[in-house]
């Protein structure tokens, strides 16, 4: 059948509509046709390549999973080193191949557990590590010369890396025997995740220090994992995640070369980390396109070792795609995302647990997540064939389109002078936030279906969740810190920290001194503070986007927006100003996607909105809200600190005369915690999946009652 004959058949079935009417434009701006044929592949040269051969379209290894499957990792950290260690050992016994460590937020931000700014954060969203002793407990009875360890750490990467090396040393394992990966990707922190400590330039210097140290002393350890995952979770499209991640990688390569490291010394140990979402074929194509683009980019540096050209990647299924509503659906979502990663050729994989939209995974949900990978690896037969979708008309054409679009965006970054300069100008962050706002509109309008959230909804009893007593964890960490400080040679520690400060102020690599300091039982906070004295603690400017959510929503449902604007006008006429809301992020949680979208959308809908700076204490947030005379203080929670931080806000409001300010909460808050928060004075709680116009209407209704507006 010819193309013309097929077109006639389509028009007949669709009552004379043109086949072009079936085109789907993806969020990336790529037009997807309903049919792909051999003709779509005629200008694509890469598809005839073999796995393990340049440009590695079909995988970095010639045998891929037929020799051995991907490494099964589960990213986890549970409050204390002891609890996390038990979880790791249980998982290793149950078939997990490597460890992936999640640290708590104070550790990420370089604070010890006894610091006054981290009262509600200790042991939340990961394991608290203050000293080498904590690190030794974390890996007790786990042979570090045999088990590969991946660590997600960026801001406090120097003391954490040093503590890991010393813990292994005291286990009898030399640095050269260690296998694994340190994320060490600070650039994406300034874009999306925000667990930075120092400014971009000195932060890049510390990245180079680790790359240099590992190239000399840890030949089997990946010194950096360039992470697109957090961009994906912040709302980036596949094109943006792909382009900005590879542009970050290019910046790290240039940084290492400026340090004098030969390309073939460090490039084979670079790795990448991508998020895998629900657009099944797009995610497969993303991994394939990433390998080709990276190989072509690296070829310009003329490496002699073919491994310098290979993009090796870890993948994690998407946390953002998990829904709090009807959460067992998340098992299906995670399975499909894991399948995308495998068909795309990942080297290792983490699968999210179905309950992570509301809290930390329980042992049961973690087992389901782990077994999802084991089923794919051992029951499906998929690993027996290399790149089984290779040659698919659609997959090959989509891979080529993604590569072309991403290359154009990389060229934009290069025109700005590279990724560091682009980040300082705010370009990548702005693009990702715009994409996140556009997606929120599609979800709120029902243009993008999320089963159980905006379609096919039902009421479900709350899930059993893993409860962490942060105050108990913090007290235990403080006792351990006090014990260590009494037993160590404090004078020696002070001398080593002073040497570290001086090294940081010069071009001396700080890693050897940091290792000495941690060996003498300096703390993570003390080493971080020493580097802070040489540099300074960075505060990124707070910016929000405007006009996207409101314009797109109004274009589809103008009557709803018009009706809401009338209510805003009535409020302004009665009160003398628009409803005024401040959106605050409390504690050390830097995940700001939700807060930024709320601030942007509410501003478009007619509220006067202030966005508080990141990392505020409850006292600081209240002080700002009272000074600005806001009507509403919106608290965005992501890292399970709400039961500590929100009551502190309410208490401080009463003490400072801010009783008239409504406190509302949003984000990841388990439904079983709602009653407690309401009893303490929270006016409204908006869980994941709440349409933003509905949230705005509910808050405006509360204000209308207070100000007696009919």
Mean pLDDT, to the nearest integer, of 633-658?
86
List the structure tokens of 683.
Answer: 């006016």
H/E segment holding residue 182: strand 180-182
- Provide mean pLDDT across the span 454-461: 84
**Local confidence band at 688 (pLDDT 50, 70, 90 cut-offs):** confident
Mean pLDDT of all residues belonging to the chain = 92
Q: Whole-angstrom Cα distance, residue 56 to residue 49?
A: 8
pLDDT of 257 reads: 96
In contact, 383 and 66? CB cutoff 8 Å? yes
Residue 73 phi/psi, 5° resolution? Answer: -120, 150
- Pick from 115-129, 383-397, 437-451: least confident: 115-129
Summarize pLDDT for 232-290 with one digit per residue, the tens: 999 999 999 999 999 999 999 999 999 999 999 999 999 999 999 999 999 999 999 99
Catalytic residues: 75, 229-230, 585, 589, 591
DSSP-derived pairing of the beta strands 98-102 and 148-152 = parallel
Q: What is the dihedral of CA 238, 239, 241, 247, to 10 degrees?
A: 160
pLDDT band at 469 (very low <50, low <70, confident <90, very high): low
Residue 633 pLDDT exceeds 70: yes
Can you tell me the mean pLDDT for 684-701? Answer: 93
Does 668 score more than 90 pLDDT?
no
Q: What is the 3-state secondary structure (H, E, C) of 404-424?
A: HHHHHHHHHHHHCCCHHHHHH
Cβ of 507: how many Cβ atoms within 10 Å? 9
SS3 128: coil
Q: What is the pLDDT of residue 315?
A: 96
Q: What percent of the chain has pLDDT over 90?
A: 78
pLDDT at residue 465 tops 70: no
Q: Which two tokens stand for residue 171?
A: 């286990």
Spatial distance between the Cα atoms of 429 and 610, rounded to a whole number of angstroms: 19
What are the helix (H) ranges across 259-328? 263-266, 280-299
Determine the average pLDDT of the residues in 593-602.
93
Q: Is the dihedral of CA 272, 276, 279, 281 positive or negative?
A: positive
At 77 the pLDDT is 63
For residue 703, give the H/E element and its range.
helix 692-706
Decide: helix, strand or coil at residue 175. helix
Confidence of residue 592 (pLDDT cuts 50, 70, 90): confident
- What residues have CB less than 8 Å from 260, skipping those under 6 apart? none
CA distance 136 to 220: 21
Between strands 580-585 and 608-611, the pairing is parallel
pLDDT digits (tens, 9 = 90+) for 364-377: 998 999 999 999 99
Helix, coil or strand: residue 127: strand
- pLDDT, residue 78, reads 66
Confirm if 314 and 225 have CB atoms less than 8 A apart: yes
Nearest to 229 by CA among 220, 242, 219, 217: 242
Please confirm whether the linkage preceding 418 is cis (ω < 30° from 0).
no
pLDDT confidence of 205, banded at 50, 70, 90? very high
Query: Using one digit for the tens of pLDDT, what is the confidence trace for 68-87?
Result: 999 888 766 668 899 889 98
DSSP codes, 323-376:
-SSSTTHHHHHHHHHHHHHHHHT-SEEE---TTTTTSBPPHHHHHHHHHHHHHH
Residue 673 predicted with pLDDT over 90: no
Backbone angles phi, psi at 538, to 5 degrees: -85, 140
Residue 317's beta-bridge partner residues?
276
The contacts of residue 684 (CB under 8 Å, 6+ apart) are 662, 664, 665, 695, 698, 699, 702
Q: Which residues contact 387 (CB under 8 A, 6 or more apart)?
A: 51, 58, 59, 64, 345
């Amino acid at each position: 059948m010819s193309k013309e004959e097929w077109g006639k058949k389509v028009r007949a079935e669709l009552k004379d509509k043109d086949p072009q009417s079936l085109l789907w434009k993806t969020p990336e701006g790529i037009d997807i046709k309903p049919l792909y044929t051999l003709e779509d592949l005629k200008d694509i040269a890469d598809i005839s390549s073999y796995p393990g051969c340049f440009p590695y379209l079909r995988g970095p290894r010639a045998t891929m999973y037929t020799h051995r499957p991907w490494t099964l990792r589960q990213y986890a950290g549970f409050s204390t080193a002891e609890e996390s260690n038990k979880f790791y050992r249980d998982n290793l016994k149950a078939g997990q191949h490597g460890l992936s460590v999640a640290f708590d937020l104070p550790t990420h931000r370089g604070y010890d557990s006894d610091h006054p700014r981290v009262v509600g954060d200790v042991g939340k969203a990961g394991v608290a590590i203050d000293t080498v002793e904590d690190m030794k407990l974390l890996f007790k009875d786990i042979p570090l010369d045999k088990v590969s360890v991946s660590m997600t750490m960026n801001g406090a990467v120097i003391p954490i890396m040093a503590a890991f090396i010393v813990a292994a040393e005291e286990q009898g394992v030399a640095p050269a025997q260690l296998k694994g990966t340190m994320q060490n990707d600070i650039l994406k922190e300034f874009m999306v995740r925000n667990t930075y400590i120092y400014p971009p330039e000195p932060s890049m210097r510390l990245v180079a220090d680790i790359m240099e140290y590992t190239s000399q002393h840890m030949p089997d350890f990946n010194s950096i994992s360039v992470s697109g995952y957090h961009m994906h979770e912040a709302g980036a499209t596949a094109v943006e995640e792909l382009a900005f991640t590879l542009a970050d990688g290019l910046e790290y390569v240039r940084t290492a070369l400026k340090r004098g490291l030969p390309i073939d010394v460090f490039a084979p140990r670079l790795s990448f980390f991508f998020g895998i979402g629900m657009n099944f074929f797009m995610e497969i194509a993303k991994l394939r396109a990433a390998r080709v683009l990276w190989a072509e980019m690296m070829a310009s540096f003329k490496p002699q070792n073919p491994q310098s050209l290979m993009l090796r990647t870890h993948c994690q299924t998407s946390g953002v795609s998990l829904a709090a509503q009807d959460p067992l659906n998340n098992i299906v979502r995670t399975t499909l995302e894991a399948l995308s990663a495998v068909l795309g050729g990942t080297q290792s994989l983490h699968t999210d647990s179905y309950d992570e939209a509301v809290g930390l995974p329980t042992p049961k949900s973690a087992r389901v997540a782990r077994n999802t990978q084991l089923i794919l690896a051992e029951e499906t037969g998929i690993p027996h064939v290399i790149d089984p979708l290779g040659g698919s008309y659609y997959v090959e054409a989509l891979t080529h389109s993604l590569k072309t679009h991403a290359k154009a965006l990389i060229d934009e970054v290069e025109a700005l002078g590279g990724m560091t300069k682009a980040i300082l100008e705010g370009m990548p962050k702005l693009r990702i936030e715009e994409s996140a706002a556009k997606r929120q509109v599609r979800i709120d309008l029902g243009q993008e279906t999320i089963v159980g959230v905006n379609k096919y909804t039902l009421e479900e009893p709350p899930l059993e969740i893993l409860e962490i007593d942060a105050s108990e964890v913090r007290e235990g960490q403080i006792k351990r810190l006090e014990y260590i400080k009494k037993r160590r040679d404090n004078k020696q520690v002070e001398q080593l920290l002073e040497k570290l400060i001086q090294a940081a102020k010069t071009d001396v690599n700080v890693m050897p001194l940091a290792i000495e300091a941690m060996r003498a039982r300096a703390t993570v906070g003390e080493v971080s503070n020493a580097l802070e004295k040489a540099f300074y603690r960075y505060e990124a400017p707070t910016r929000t986007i405007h006009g996207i959510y409101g314009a797109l929503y109004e274009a589809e449902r103008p009557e709803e927006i018009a009706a809401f604007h009338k209510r805003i006008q009535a409020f302004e006429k009665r009160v003398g100003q628009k409803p005024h809301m401040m959106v605050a992020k409390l504690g050390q949680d830097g995940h700001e996607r939700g807060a930024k979208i709320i601030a942007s959308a509410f501003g478009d809908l007619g509220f006067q909105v202030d966005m508080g700076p990141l990392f505020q204490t409850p006292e600081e947030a209240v002080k700002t809200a009272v000074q600005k005379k806001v009507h509403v203080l919106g608290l965005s929670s992501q890292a399970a600190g709400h039961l500590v931080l929100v009551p502190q806000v309410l208490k401080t409001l009463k003490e400072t005369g801010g009783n008239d300010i409504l406190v509302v909460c949003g984000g990841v808050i388990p439904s079983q915690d709602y009653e407690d928060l309401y009893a303490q004075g929270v006016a409204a709680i908006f869980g994941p999946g709440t349409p933003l116009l509905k949230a705005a209407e509910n808050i405006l209704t509360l204000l209308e009652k207070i100000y007696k507006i009919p």
